[in-house]
Structure 1
Amino acid sequence: MLSSTLPRTLVCLAGMLSAATASPCAAKPSNGCGKALPAGQTLGGVATVNITSNGLARSFLVFVPPTYKRGNPTQVILSYHGGTKTALQQLQLDDLTSPEFNTKSMVVYPQGINDSWQGVPGVTIDDVQFTADILDYLQGQYCIDKQRIMATGKSDGAGFCNVLACDATLSTRIAAFAPVSGAYYVDTLPCEPTTVVIPCQNARTDIPMLAFHGGNDSVIAYLGGERKNACLPTVPHWIEEWAARENLGAANKTSPVAANTVIYQYSRPGEQNLVSLVYDSINGHDWPSTAPNADNQNAGQAPTSFNATPMILDFFAKHSLTQLV
């Protein structure tokens, strides 16, 4: 189905590490190291932060992990909500603040204007700048490891992860991406989902990408097509384009993950599974979870045979920027 060697320059692979294992790459602490938490924030708590970006009032939620220390650089995960959803709903969905899965990473939930994101047809808000402003704020207020900033999201939020990965600046600030049920819109018609040219200005050729998509997704179809007067590529075409950008070739390793689920992995010598797609043939437009969540309790949906969240955390644990632009 899915289906040249370059020197490693920007990504430090930590091998087969678990999410709880420290990266072997030396941390790059931010200016906020040594500062006390902002007023009203507590270890293990969630707070709302308001900033101004491009003259607009914007907000995001911040989860401070219970193990956070002002002198220890901490990994940050940006998690973007789906269309018509909110930052709080994404927090409740992705389980990244659950102590079962994460006690060490700071998680940030940006709020889109009109609950949407740049990259969706008709959206004109500069959410790339908003993300850059969030990162600047975080690095000034908290002890952040600037080499370990990650991004994930659902649906339109996952599509925005692709926008960030394809941005010449943000692709050098965010180490790795894990979009779920992504809406990867291309502003062109007529729509040829298997061959549509996907614009991308990524400034690295070693961007770790772990995507998830369901074969029964009735919102963002796995086989793509016209939607909102734009073109959705097939997910296989989209992931193959990422493999091509990173000089990984067309061949992939296919492995079982769980019932009805496989992972397609693209690698090159010295960098294993740099680009991967987890495909569940029966899952719909859901954040994959074996436990009930807001997605899989909808009519016609059900829990999946695997959890995306620990896979995402394990993936992020293996990657870190080694050079900062």
Structure 2
Amino acid sequence: MGRPVIVAITGLLLAVTPGCARQENGGERDTSPRRDGIRHSQVKTPRTGVHTGRRAVPSAGCSRRAPLTGRHSFRGRSYLLKRPRGDGRIPAPLIIDLHGLRSSAFLQALYARMPTQGSARGFIVVQPESARGRSGWKLPGMRGGRSDIRYVRGLLDHLESELCVDRAREYATGFSNGAGLAAALVCGLGGRLAGVAPVAGLNLARPCPGARPTTIVAFHGTADRTVPYRGGEPYGGDRTKIPAWMRPADGVFALPPVPAVARQWARSFRCATAVRGSRGAGVGRLSHPGCRNGTRVELYTIEGGGHIWPGAFRLGGGAARDQINATTIILNAFSRSA
């Protein structure tokens, strides 16, 4: 892909539910009206056979003609949109996919392949661009650290007005700096999201007291030198690699260990006792099931893995591991969440 593209993707720091397929393809739709006059839909997707067991909460956009797949704009920033097949009039779950530092929506789409795989399973996938001149996301703890949380909130409102979204099934994922924002949205959006999946960046955002239980599925390599798995300073302490706008307001650069952050989320959600397992050689899985509201917290640890998206092609961020595919696991997890 050439060195500029590799640098763009790997210099990344502090840097799902089968959706609603076309009814004529065999989906079963319940359009019984509620007392508020809104019709909710309950859909079984023929492609996967997964039934959510719950009624969808349609957005205002269900009464409008859906915009085409492609690049669109909101508040001066562009975003990529990929819709599932169909006429766009049945509520579909939505995934916000956030790129890493010095990357872009387009490069994230190539790297994680969330638009192609997610839309094939009935998800609307949206990949926004960060603010012009930053090429990354502001996180809590930075100066102006809530600006991108506010932007994502506004973007979700915009998407709900333009698309037929199941408002009960909105999710976020991201890589590195984008993973940090995905995790920060659990608290920042006040429980609006049904699930988040941070890849190589769970410990960039701290859990908050009283957070609404949210399914969290995280991935991290133990040999990650950009966002260290065991905690400490990013980039091995080389602060010259951290843009000035990204530096913490209090000047403290140390990150907590990834497993400690996962445990903190699990305690906050009152999850059951953790269960340890594996997903093949070199990949550990720590699962905290039985959290409130049917949620769970899962951490996939890739032994010797670098700053990578598991299952994606290697781009210089350290050792890759092919035993698991993060995109598939994320979509499976979002498909099962209530």
TM-score range, shorter chain: 0.7 to 0.9
Note if 1:176 corresponds to 2:205: no
Q: Does 1:63 align with 2:86?
A: no
- Decide whether aligned partners of structure 1 residues 132 and 120 sit closer, same or farther in structure 2, where only a CA change above 3 A counts: closer
User: How far is 1:222 from its partner?
Assistant: 0.6
Q: Would the aligned equivalents of 2:66 and 2:164 in 1 still touch at CA under 8 Å?
A: no
Instruction: Tell me, in whole angstroms, the C-alpha distance in 2 between the residues paired with 1:264 and 1:286.
Output: 19
| TM-align CA RMSD | 2.4
* Contact 1:262-1:279 within 8 A present in 2 as well: yes
In structure 1, distance between residues paired with 2:155 and 2:51: 24
Partner of 1:24 in structure 2?
Answer: 53
Per the alignment, residue 327 of structure 2 pairs with 309
**Structure 1 residues 248, 37: CA separation in 2 closer, same or farther (over 3 Å shift)?**
closer
Between the aligned partners of 1:312 and 1:253, the Cα distance in structure 2 is 19
Q: Which sections of structure 1, spanning at least 5 residues, go unmatched?
A: 1-17, 187-197, 321-325
Between the two proteins, what is the percent identity of the paired residues? 28
Q: Structure 2 vs 1, CA of residues 265 and 272 (structure 1 numbering), >3 Å: closer, same or farther?
A: farther
AA matched with 1:77: I
Q: What corresponds to 2:28 in structure 1?
A: none
- Equivalent residue, structure 1, for 2:263: 240
1:184 partner SS: helix
Per-residue CA deviation, residues 115-141 of structure 1 (Å, 9 max, x unaligned), is 111217645361111111111111111
Q: Which of 1 and 2 has higher RCO (CA within 8 Å, sep 6+)?
A: 1
1:84 Cα offset (Å):
1.0
**How big is the shift at 1:242?**
0.4
User: More strand by proportion, 1 or 2?
Assistant: 1
TM-score, normalised to structure 1, is: 0.77
- Structure 2: how far apart are the matches of 1:20 and 1:154? 29
Q: Which residue number corresponds to residue 124 of structure 1?
A: 144
Structure 2 CA distance for aligned equivalents of residues 279 and 95 of structure 1: 21
Partner of 2:72: 49
CA separation in 2, counterparts of 1:165 and 1:82?
18
TM-score by length of 2: 0.74
Deviation at 1:171, TM superposition (A): 3.5
Residues 278-317 of structure 1, C-alpha deviations (whole Å, 9 max, x = no match)? 011021100000xx52xx1427533421111110001001
Equivalent residue pairs, number: 273
CA distance in 2, matches of 1:129, 1:100: 25
Match of 1:282 in 2: 304
Gaps of 5+ in 2: 1-46, 235-246
Q: Give per-residue Cα distances to partners, 1:137-165, cap 9 Å, x unaligned.
A: 11111111001101100001001111101
Instruction: Give the letter aligned to residue 178 of structure 2.
Output: G
Secondary structure of residue in 2 paired with 1:288 = coil
- Does 1:145 pair with 2:166? yes
1:257 to 247, 255, 279: 279
Q: Check 1:142–1:100 CA distance in 2 against 1; reply closer, same or farther (3 A cut).
A: closer
Report SS of the residue matched to 1:243: helix
Contact preservation (8 Å) 1:96, 1:102: no
Distance 1:317 1:308 in 2: 14
Contact 2:200–2:308 (8 Å) recurs in 1 = yes
Matched, 1:84 2:105: no
Q: Secondary structure at the match of 1:115?
A: coil
Q: CA deviation at 1:255?
A: 1.0
Match 1:112 to one of 100, 119, 130 = 130
State the distance in 1 between where 2:167 and 2:293 align: 21
Instruction: After TM superposition, give the deviation of residue 97 of structure 1 in Å.
Output: 2.0
Contact 1:152 1:179 (C-alpha < 8 Å) held by counterparts: yes
